[in-house]
Structure 1
Amino acid sequence: MARSPLAPAVARTAWRRAEPIHAMIYFAPEARQRYGALGLDGLTGYFASRSAAFGAVPAEPVVATFFNFKPALVHAALPAAWERAAPTAVLRARLDAADAALRRAFADLEDGAGTPAVAEAAGLARRAAESACEQLPGRPLFAAHAALPWPDEPHLVLWHAQTLLREFRGDGHVSALLLAGLNGLEALVLHAATGDVPVRFLRRSRGWTSDEWAEAVDELRSRGLLADGDDLALTEAGRELRQSVEDRTDALAEPAYRVLGEDGCARLAELARPLSRAVVDAGLLDLKATPTAG
């Protein structure tokens, strides 16, 4: 029986409340330590760990699916990373890092990582992720992660489920950006123009030079999406385009959460909020700790 669509805000809230539980893997010192032990430092560890689900791929599939990184940055990391560590070893290191980081974050919860709230949230997130697994076409990065085995412990089930849901949404977001006529750098510039994330972080962490960034700004101004002047600001047309991309992304992500219904999504959001807060309070989302391109 077909399930009724959810209001976009319902699914988006369920995803956003739980997102720190996945996102911490890109910032946690536990991850850097384990990738470093394999000889994978900085962005090489990031590219290898997130793409290892593909196997020992060259740079091109990662350029395509990660979307907003400068291609030269990816080529500097791949496929050279696979000469230092096999994808299976990188995946083991990533899961081990998630285990250690979340155990540390949840240590102050009653029963720690084994708290009933973690188990319940894991069950809900897994239902949504497994529903998403029925919709693989057009979602290459998600599909690669969907082929990985499920871990056993509840906190890792929750992390893996949220990882799948993030990549499911991310593949849809890339599709929305392409339909909007934006390349990866232009998408970053428009994101920066919202003021949500510092320009310096977005530009340097994705490997773009000041000149390349300035050229993209000029291009977007010529298309009427950015206002003239020294400050980076969206025009009304720019705000409308950004909103249309977000709306399309929400629409493409919603089917994963439909299996939970409004009540299940609300319960997942309720359970995830203190868990995500614990991740933040443990310092696992420190932007200063993320590797940058220099």
Structure 2
Amino acid sequence: MPASTVSPELARSVWKATEPLHSHVYFAPQRLDVYAAVGLEPKVMGYFASRSAPLGAVGPEAVAATFYNFNPELIASVIPQAWGVATPDAVVGARTATADLSLRALLGEEAIGSAELAEAAELARTAAEGAAHHAHGRPLFAGLTGLGWPKEPHLVLWHAVTLLREFRGDGHIAALLAARIGPLEALVTYAASGASSASGLRKSRGWPQAAWDAGVAATAERGLVDVAGPDGALSATDEGARLRAEVEARTDELARPAFEALGPDGCERLITLASPFTRTVREAGILPGTRKR
């Protein structure tokens, strides 16, 4: 097989330019009514059920394994109960409906119908369909490949970017496992890098304080983080920063095959086309870290 001309760095740039077009669906206000209409508690149950539904009515163990850094007890509080009130197919439909309503509200009908969005959708779909040739060992991505493609361009774009995100995420878990970084260690080292607050990560992933403290202690004992002050502020050690950078670089490398079908020019074109839509989503203030004041 000839060497790819798409670099890991370019693969990362495409991810950064498109990620909010996927992740907005987890925070869209429209999800509250849509998930409630199919019987789901819309926040915690809605998140875990909607993201895992392409796998079928799996149990909490499978969801915890594929989501990796969430507290399994939090997952078990809503899975498999969710499948008793809504089938996976109904949940998949609810998430797609949420994406439709959210993107229409965020981007507006002019952007939804634009030639630029349609071209971005086709490029992203080409990448996602190319990624399907590398699905082994990527369960969340593989589950999504079993779904049919939407017809409207804005939903094609959303679905394609979702596929690419889960392709990357499955690879990230593989990189964490290879580096012997467990679920709590992954969160602790991420917080120590300064990328997100420790309290925000702990709460959003459902870890009680005692479990978090034990995870911090284990990560510090391994020499990956330093803990300072009465508030337990985290900072990465040289070894922790090196290992975290290695994981990120490996993640970029594992994501790269998804973009072989586009080549560098196609990747750059997708970045150019998607960036204005992504900027609009960010500026709406619904994503974490982008809240409007």
TM-score, with structure 2 as normaliser: 0.94
**TM-fit CA distance, 1:288:** 9.2
Please tell me whether the aligned partners of residues 8 and 252 of structure 2 are also in contact (alpha carbons under 8 angstroms). Answer: yes
Moved more, 174-183 or 1-10: 1-10
Please tell me whether the aligned partners of residues 136 and 143 of structure 1 are also in contact (alpha carbons under 8 angstroms). Answer: yes
**Residue in 2 that maps onto 1:244:** 246
**Residue in 2 that maps onto 1:55:** 56
**TM-fit CA distance, 1:287:** 5.8
Match of 1:77, SS?
A: coil
Matches within 5 A, 1:100-119: 100-107=101-108, 111-119=110-118
Matches within 5 A, 1:66-105: 66-105=67-106
Deviation by residue 1:60-116 (Cα, 9 ceiling, x = unmatched): 1101100000111111111100111111111111001100100111117xx230111
**Residue in 1 that maps onto 2:47:** 46
Match of 1:264, SS?
A: helix
**TM-fit CA distance, 1:283:** 3.1
Partner Cα separation in structure 2 for residue 75 and residue 204 of structure 1? 16
- Residue type at the aligned position of 1:61: A
Structure 1 residues 118 and 3 mapped into 2: Cα distance closer, same or farther (>3 Å)? farther
**TM-fit CA distance, 1:38:** 2.1
Matches within 5 A, 1:170-209: 170-209=169-208
**Residue in 2 that maps onto 1:217:** 216
Deviation by residue 1:169-218 (Cα, 9 ceiling, x = unmatched): 00000000011101111101111111221222110111101111111111
**Residue in 2 that maps onto 1:264:** 266
Structure 1 residues 228 and 45 mapped into 2: Cα distance closer, same or farther (>3 Å)? closer
Please tell me whether the aligned partners of residues 167 and 255 of structure 2 are also in contact (alpha carbons under 8 angstroms). Answer: yes
Please tell me whether the aligned partners of residues 168 and 253 of structure 1 are also in contact (alpha carbons under 8 angstroms). Answer: yes
TM-score, with structure 1 as normaliser: 0.94
**TM-fit CA distance, 1:286:** 4.4
**Residue in 2 that maps onto 1:292:** none
Partner Cα separation in structure 2 for residue 275 and residue 175 of structure 1? 30
Confirm or deny that 1:4 pairs with 2:4: yes
- Residue type at the aligned position of 1:22: H
**TM-fit CA distance, 1:3:** 5.5
**TM-fit CA distance, 1:123:** 0.8
- Residue type at the aligned position of 2:249: D
Match of 2:275, SS?
A: helix
Partner Cα separation in structure 2 for residue 88 and residue 287 of structure 1? 32
**TM-fit CA distance, 1:18:** 0.7
Please tell me whether the aligned partners of residues 188 and 202 of structure 1 are also in contact (alpha carbons under 8 angstroms). Answer: yes
Please tell me whether the aligned partners of residues 13 and 269 of structure 1 are also in contact (alpha carbons under 8 angstroms). Answer: yes
Partner Cα separation in structure 2 for residue 48 and residue 228 of structure 1? 36
Partner Cα separation in structure 1 for residue 111 and residue 290 of structure 2? 27
Confirm or deny that 1:13 pairs with 2:13: yes
| Gap regions ≥5 residues in structure 1 | 290-294
**TM-fit CA distance, 1:279:** 1.2
Deviation by residue 1:244-291 (Cα, 9 ceiling, x = unmatched): 1001101100010121111111111111111001112233324699xx
Partner Cα separation in structure 1 for residue 115 and residue 65 of structure 2? 39
Match of 1:233, SS?
A: strand
Structure ranking higher on relative contact order (CA contacts 8 Å, 6+ apart): 1
Please tell me whether the aligned partners of residues 66 and 139 of structure 2 are also in contact (alpha carbons under 8 angstroms). Answer: yes
Please tell me whether the aligned partners of residues 221 and 227 of structure 1 are also in contact (alpha carbons under 8 angstroms). Answer: yes
Partner Cα separation in structure 1 for residue 279 and residue 290 of structure 2? 18
**Residue in 2 that maps onto 1:37:** 37
- Residue type at the aligned position of 2:177: L
Identity %: 50
Please tell me whether the aligned partners of residues 129 and 256 of structure 1 are also in contact (alpha carbons under 8 angstroms). Answer: yes
